[in-house]
Amino acid sequence: MERKLLIVDDEPHIRMLIEQTLEELEDEDVSFLSADNGETALRIIKEEKPQLVFLDVMMPKMNGMEVCRQVKKELQLDDVYIVLLTAKGQEFDRQRGHEVGADVYMTKPFDPEVILAKAKEVLEIP
């Protein structure tokens, strides 16, 4: 079964860092998709239906909260697991992340091992 993972961040070096963190998953039939803004991310999610999305909150065109809200509340794609990544760790932001339907809320800088463990768990990779 092919699995898809989408990395969304407007900072190329963060996208690359996440991809490098997860590169061992390529051996597990995981294909990587990426987007640098919310609009592109939403289009990819609709077309490709990735099982897992690492989604930055603060981005141009459409922020991660809005992308998440549309995916979870409007499109009702409950099988798309969304991890919101943000520099904002305040309780208010966390609360808002859960309100828009995020499955997990992680603050930057993130621990690569936590990202990898979460990806393996969601994609059911031993």
Report pLDDT for 108.
86
Q: Is the pLDDT of residue 115 over 80?
A: yes
Separation between Cα atoms, residue 93 and residue 32, nearest integer Å = 27
Report pLDDT for 124.
95
Q: Render 87-118 in DSSP notation, one character per residue.
A: S---HHHHHHHHHTT-SEEEESSPPHHHHHHH
In the chain, how many domains are there? 1
- List pLDDT tens digits, range 43-95: 999 999 999 999 999 998 999 999 999 999 999 999 999 999 988 778 888 89
Q: Which neighbouring-strand residues pair with 3?
A: 30
Query: What's the domain range around 82?
Result: 3-122
Instruction: Give the CATH number for residue 115.
Output: 3.40.50.2300
Q: What's this model's pTM, rounded to 2 decimal places?
A: 0.94
